Amino acid sequence: MEELAGRIRERVEDYADFPRPGIVFRDLTPVLRDPELTRAIARRLAEEAERRGATALAGIESRGFLFAAPAACALGAPLLTIRKQGKLPGSTLTEAYDLEYGSAELELQAGSVAADGDRVLVVDDLLATGGTLAAACRLLESAGARVAGLAVVVELDGLDGRARLKNYNMFSLLRL
């Protein structure tokens, strides 16, 4: 696993003062330009999902989709898409959450979770403060799913995201 973390770190690019002064943006786009690395990440996430008994994976818009989709394919499991408000057709379930300045909402199409309640591994690209992942978990639970765990490619230490998600089993490939 340390080898995979090192390969990810080599590809992550840091942008100071983006999107605003004082923020260091960790760009995972270069990771996705490396097909072998992307495949290795997908395999590792699929292994983690299988280890936790997940019957489905959920990707959080938008970069979470890029890692959850190939992992779901590798596992042979359904992919649930958690999107920003107003992006999904039909009936949806909604969960509001607070941002640093304001609030936002996540949505899941009604009926996405199996009637007997999927065990879902929730996947995102990066964990910072944990607000989005926490809202995604509440949304899935309100739909009848059981959260099998949380998986991120990169976890930023020092922002207390893991502490905010202490009720869930957290997995990260790289901690910065």
Which residues are marked as active site? Answer: 63, 100
**Longest distance between any two alpha carbons in the chain, whole Å:** 47
Output the six-digit token pair for 5. Answer: 């973390």
CA distance 52 to 71: 14
The answer to whether 153 and 174 have CB atoms below 8 angstroms apart is yes
The angle, 0 to 180 degrees and rounded to 10, between the axes of the packed helices 2-11 and 35-51 is 140
Q: How many CB atoms lie within 10 A of CB 141?
A: 15
Q: What are the φ and ψ backbone dihedral angles of 88, each rounded to 5 degrees?
A: -110, 135
The answer to whether 143 and 112 have CB atoms below 8 angstroms apart is yes
In one-letter notation, the amino acid at residue 146 is R
Which residues have a Cβ under 8 Å from the Cβ of 122 and sit 6 or more positions away? 57, 58, 60, 82, 133, 136, 137, 140, 147, 149, 150, 151
